[in-house]
Amino acid sequence: MNERRNEGGYGRRNNDDFDQRRGGGGRGVGGDRDRVGDSNNNHRANSWKANQNDAANKLDFDRRTNLRALEKSGFVHLYGLAPVLNALSTNRRDLVNPEATIDSTEMSKEEREYDEMQRSRKAEAKFAPCLFVQERGGGEGMGSSSGRLGGKVGMVEELERLAKERDVPVARVDKGVLNTLCGSRPHQGYVLRCGELDFESLPQIPKPSETPTTPSLWLILDEVVDPQNFGAILRSAYFLGGDSGSNKQKQQTIGIVVCAKNSAPPSSTVSAASAGALELSQIYATSNLPRTLNTAKEDGWRILGASAAVPPSLAEGGDGGVTCLDLMDVEVDRETGTPIPTILVLGSEGRGLRTLVAKACTGFVRIPGSSDVASGLEKDEDGGGSPVGVDSLNVSVTGGIMLWHLMGGGGSR
């Protein structure tokens, strides 16, 4: 874990400056660049310098890429055109070279020797940000000779411009190096070594009418742990309501909150699965989701939990005011284009909504299938039951469909 995590990286800001972060004033999404840069920069400089005492790091400097040591120093490797381009565009991740922050005049002889060896290493083995580009042969510029890029040439040109603007070194390497850096995942010829990304703390969701920049629709993920699911949900949320402003002032119309613990972290896998939406979205975390939801309920939010039926713990309690509606029966506002103030809660892949989270909901919503399989059982000829196998949708698919409807995209019955 990097320094920000050890300090409790989720608790950097509170709800009082929500409007300042979400509104204009310059930064909008990605406005924490200075905070992330300063913290990561100092930490990585110290970690990099401390490696002089590690004998293993002094062996085969030119060839060995110690991925585990890089990760411990706070580096990640984004892969794929969209994640890399979006990360460079928003400039939220730390891209400062720690070598530039170390004063060699204060070094001992041994430290200077280590410094010289570090600077002489190949780019892929250095503890420093870098954009790695696959050598394609012929032509100038990144990927200019690759016909496989097709209509993405414009993205490549913008990526090259941003890398130069951010002073990010560019290293042209063979495909094997890129495969090593990203674990042989589909990288499209581009990998960016950069700093980690943290969630912002948001213990209380602002009241619906508190500020004009407060989203009217919030998506809350109750311990979604699979990075592919998390990334797919972020992609849907950004596609449906990620940017309603200009390029210089982005405003999300769908707020996103996750649990501070037991949730997929904002990793490179999530970024790739989200097609780069992770780099563009402001995501918040809460350390006590039931309390956050109960406070939101008191503030007038409609809180809908995604569930095939009213959870047994609530049904047995005899609470007749809690119902489970089919999605198409949920009221939405299609005239103004502004969603009715709603919080949609999606549960984890295995057990769904936790009991305390379900109790904080004002109602539940389901997507009806081709047959009533809410119980997960199908009657056989003898009247018994057997597992259906496919008794529900994947959480990311559920999230996309429900968000689309709540944003006013669904028809009426």
Residues 236-258: tens digit of each pLDDT: 999 998 664 444 445 678 999 99
Residues 134-190: tens digit of each pLDDT: 987 644 445 444 455 556 788 899 999 999 999 999 999 999 999 999 999 999 999
Q: Is residue 17 part of a domain?
A: no
Q: Is residue 5 part of a domain?
A: no
Residues 241 and 191 in one domain: no
| End position of a domain, from candidates 195, 220, 238 | 195
Q: Is residue 403 part of a domain?
A: yes
Max mean pLDDT range (5-14, 134-143, 359-368): 359-368
CA-closest candidate to residue 191, choices 174, 215, 213, 209: 174
The CATH code of the domain that includes 243 is 3.40.1280.10
Element counts in the chain: helices (H) and strands (E): 15, 14
Residues 157 and 214 in one domain: no
Contact 188, 80 (CB under 8 A): yes
Residues 323 and 178 in one domain: no
**Better-scored residue on pLDDT, 347 or 36:** 347
Residues 57 and 191 in one domain: yes
186/78 Cα distance (integer angstroms):
11
Domain that holds residue 153: 32-195
**Better-scored residue on pLDDT, 54 or 368:** 368
- Produce one character per residue of 84-115: b if its CB has 16 or more CB atoms within 10 Å, e if not: bbbbbbbbbbbbbbbbeebeeeeeeeeeeebb
Q: Is residue 250 part of a domain?
A: yes
62/65 Cα distance (integer angstroms):
9
Contact 196, 204 (CB under 8 A): no
Residues 153 and 72 in one domain: yes
Q: Is residue 241 part of a domain?
A: yes
Residues 165 and 267 in one domain: no
Residues 234 and 341 in one domain: yes
Residues 52 and 101 in one domain: yes
Instruction: Tell whether the model's pLDDT for residue 8 goes beyond 60.
Output: no
CA-closest candidate to residue 233, choices 368, 395, 342, 343: 395
Query: Residue 29's pLDDT is what?
Result: 37
pLDDT band for 41, please (50, 70, 90 cuts). Answer: low
Q: Is residue 1 part of a domain?
A: no
At CA 211, angle to CA 207 and CA 216, rounded to 5?
A: 60
Residues 56-82: tens digit of each pLDDT: 444 343 346 788 888 888 899 999 999
DSSP 259-297: ESSSS--S-HHHHHHTTTHHHH--EEEES-HHHHHHHHH
Residues 184 and 214 in one domain: no
Q: Is residue 245 part of a domain?
A: yes
Instruction: Tell whether the model's pLDDT for residue 109 goes beyond 60.
Output: yes
86/75 Cα distance (integer angstroms):
17
Instruction: Tell whether the model's pLDDT for residue 44 goes beyond 80.
Output: no
Max mean pLDDT range (334-348, 362-376, 380-394): 334-348
| End position of a domain, from candidates 195, 217, 240 | 195
At CA 166, angle to CA 161 and CA 172, rounded to 5?
A: 65
Residues 186 and 221 in one domain: no
Dihedral sign for Cα 188, 189, 192, 196, please: positive
Least confident of 78-92, 333-347, 392-406: 333-347
Q: Is residue 20 part of a domain?
A: no
The amino acid present at 125, given as its one-letter code, is A
Mean of the per-residue pLDDT values of the chain:
77
**Better-scored residue on pLDDT, 313 or 28:** 313
Query: Residue 75's pLDDT is what?
Result: 93
Q: Which residues contact 259 (CB under 8 A, 6 or more apart)?
A: 221, 222, 223, 285, 286, 287, 289
H-helix or E-strand spanning residue 131: strand 130-134
Residues 180 and 40 in one domain: yes
**Better-scored residue on pLDDT, 103 or 146:** 103
Residue 131, Cβ neighbours under 10 Å: how many? 27
DSSP 62-123: TT---HHHHHHTTEEEEESHHHHHHHHHH--S----GGGG--GGG--HHHHHHHHHHHHS-G
